[in-house]
Amino acid sequence: MDAKKIEATRRRLSSEYENLIKSINRNRLTAEQIKLENTEDECDLATISRFRLIEYHLHESDFQRLRFIQEAMKALDRGQYGDCVRCGNDINEKRLMAVPWATLCILCQEETEKDRNSSDLVTAGPEEEMDL
C-alpha cells in the first residue's frame, strides 16, 4: 500500500472512530432518558427490559467496532495494515474499502463468527454492564 493510500485510510479510520464515540455517547444519553422516563411506571417492566436489551446490543456492536478501528490504526502504524491477523494473507482491497477496520480476511471472519455465535449463547447476557 502506498503512502497516499495509508494516509487516506488513517483519516477515514480516525473520523470513523470519532463518529463512533459520538454515537456511543448519544446512545448512552438516550438510554438514560428511557430509563428515567420508565422507572416511574412500574407496570411497564417489559418495556424497560426490552430497551435494556436494545441498549446492550447497540453498545456491544459499537464497542466491538471501536476495538477493530483501534486495531486497524495500530496495524497501519506497524505497516501491517491489510494483512489478516489470523492467517496472514492479504485482505481483499474491496473488503477494506467497505470495511476499513477489517483485521481479518473474509474466510477467517466467517470462521470466527461461527465460533463467536456458539460461545455467545453461553457467556453473554443482557445483564452485563459495560463501561467505556
102 binds Zn ion, rule: CB under 5 A = no
Burial class (CB in 10 A: 0-12, 13-18, 19+), 26: exposed
Separation in Å, CA 47 to CA 59, 62, 66: 18, 22, 28
Choose, by CB under 5 A, the member of 86, 92, 99, 111 that binds Zn ion.
Answer: 86
Give me 55's grid cell. 441498549
Q: By rule CB under 5 A, what string of x and - marks binding of each residue 28-67 to Zn ion?
A: ----------------------------------------
Q: Which is nearer to Zn ion, 72 or 84 (CB)?
A: 84
Choose, by CB under 5 A, the member of 29, 87, 124, 130 that binds Zn ion.
Answer: 87
84 binds Zn ion, rule: CB under 5 A = yes
Q: Which is nearer to Zn ion, 10 or 95 (CB)?
A: 95
Least spacing, CB of residue 114 vs Zn ion, in Å:
14
d(CA 28, CA 52): 11
CB atoms within 10 A of CB 40: 7
Q: Which is nearer to Zn ion, 69 or 91 (CB)?
A: 91
Task: List for the chain the helix, strand, coil content (%; round to 5).
Answer: 75, 0, 25
Count of residues of this chain found to bind Zn ion when the rule CB under 5 A is applied? 5
Chain residues binding Zn ion by CB under 5 A are 84, 86-87, 105, 108
